[in-house]
Amino acid sequence: MTSEGLTTTEAPFIELAQKQHQLFINQPYDLYSVENHLAWKSLYARMKPRWDEFANPHFLKGIANLCLDPNAVPSLADVNRFLEPLTGFEAKAVSGYVPAFIFFDCLRNRQFPTTITIRKSDKLDYLPEPDIFHDIAGHVPMHTDPAFANTLVKFGDCAHTAAELVKSIGSHKEQLKVLESIIQAMARFFWFTIEFGLMESPDGLKVYGSGLLSSFGEIEHSIQSKDVQRFPAQLEWLINQSFEIDHFQPLLFVVESFDHLFTMVDQLETWMKQGRLNNVAPGEPQINEQDLMSFLSPS
Ligand SMILES: [Fe+2]
């Protein structure tokens, strides 16, 4: 094992891949340093009791089914051996930011773009960019659930529907305006469900959003704090609600089940076709050029 490391923002292997415009990469497992494995071990050990207390039962079943090693950064090949037979999903290593259409298209093909770097072992708390702990321990256990997995695929369908819809718009300027609004609606919906969603369960409110499932501080805060407003998820609210990523979320939305969530994504697609996403409320998140272009010229 070398000590080069695959640490967030300090990974020469990733820098090289980015320089060579390689988005999909291999996971060079031997490059993980002792410190990288220590970071995983520490993150996992402190989250475990919080998952037991606050995570929804589908996640707990998923994490058991994946047989993750609590002591070492997981190999994606190992994760996929357990994941694929359950829902057909696979974790696919990426070198960095995945433009929106490509991201959703991967979901449609039951592939989850997965960050392979890990945060520093002395900085375990919030980091704005995803890392392998967020992606594998936060997201992937949810992908073992068939109803949840079908919901992600449906998000991919929505992206294809959007790309088709804008083709029929004559003016390039109008195309960009409509796309910006649709991507904003999809990003907000994704944020308030897949990343920060809460769900009813027989034992009360539980967490299923991966941003919460990978955050030691916020998972408890999301369920217990009086400073959080929690409302039943409503499509018209989610697509118009701005969010900020640099602090604990003050507003969270609750779904009844993953079938309920699937129905909402289906409705999102229907509204898109009806033009009801063409002019959502302005605000965050801002949609960048790369995201827009990914819908206009999908490769
Ligand atoms: Fe995420």
CATH code (residue 147): 1.10.800.10
* Residue 45 located in a structural domain: yes
Beta-strand (E) ranges in the chain? 90-94, 111-115, 198-199, 206-207, 229-232, 251-255
Cα(118) to centroid(ligand 1), Å:
14
Mean pLDDT of 16-26: 97
Q: Check whether 76 has a pLDDT greater than 60.
A: yes
Mean pLDDT of 190-210: 97
* Residue 4 located in a structural domain: no
Q: Which letter, b or e, does each residue of 92-127 get, where b requires 16 or more Cβ atoms within 10 Å of its Cβ?
A: bbbbbbbbbbbbbbbbbebbbbbbbbbbbbeeeeee
Q: How confident is the model at residue 30 (pLDDT cuts 50, 70, 90)?
A: very high
**20 phi, psi to nearest 5 deg:** -90, 10
Distance CA 215, CA 194 (A): 14
Mean pLDDT of 193-210: 96
Instruction: Provide the domain limits for residue 134.
Output: 12-296
Cα(114) to centroid(ligand 1), Å:
9
Distance CA 285, CA 244 (A): 8
Q: How confident is the model at residue 223 (pLDDT cuts 50, 70, 90)?
A: very high
Residues 6+ apart with CB under 8 A from 64: none
> Which alpha helices (DSSP H) does 120-171 contain, by range?
132, 146-167
* Residue whose tokens read 């994946």: 66
* Residue 16 located in a structural domain: yes
* Residue 3 located in a structural domain: no
Q: What is the pLDDT of residues 138-162, one digit of tens each?
A: 999 999 999 999 999 999 999 999 9
* Residue whose tokens read 């520490």: 42
Q: Looking at residue 133, what DSSP letter applies?
A: I
Cα(4) to centroid(ligand 1), Å:
26
* Residue 77 located in a structural domain: yes
Cα(139) to centroid(ligand 1), Å:
7
> Are the C-beta atoms of residues 30 and 116 closer than 8 Å to each other?
no
Task: For residue 251, give the nearest of 259, 239, 264, 242 by alpha carbon.
Answer: 242
**202 phi, psi to nearest 5 deg:** -60, -25
3-state secondary structure of 199: strand
Q: Are strands 229-232 and 90-94 parallel, antiparallel or unpaired?
A: unpaired
Cα(127) to centroid(ligand 1), Å:
12
Residues with CB under 5 A from ligand 1 (ion): 210
* Residue 192 located in a structural domain: yes
* Residue 212 located in a structural domain: yes
Task: For residue 165, give the nearest of 32, 15, 53, 269 by alpha carbon.
Answer: 269
Distance CA 31, CA 13 (A): 9
The pLDDT, as a whole number, for residue 3 is 56
Q: How confident is the model at residue 1 (pLDDT cuts 50, 70, 90)?
A: very low
Q: What is the pLDDT of residues 157-180, one digit of tens each?
A: 999 999 999 999 989 999 999 999
Cα(98) to centroid(ligand 1), Å:
12
User: How many structural domains are present in the chain?
Assistant: 1
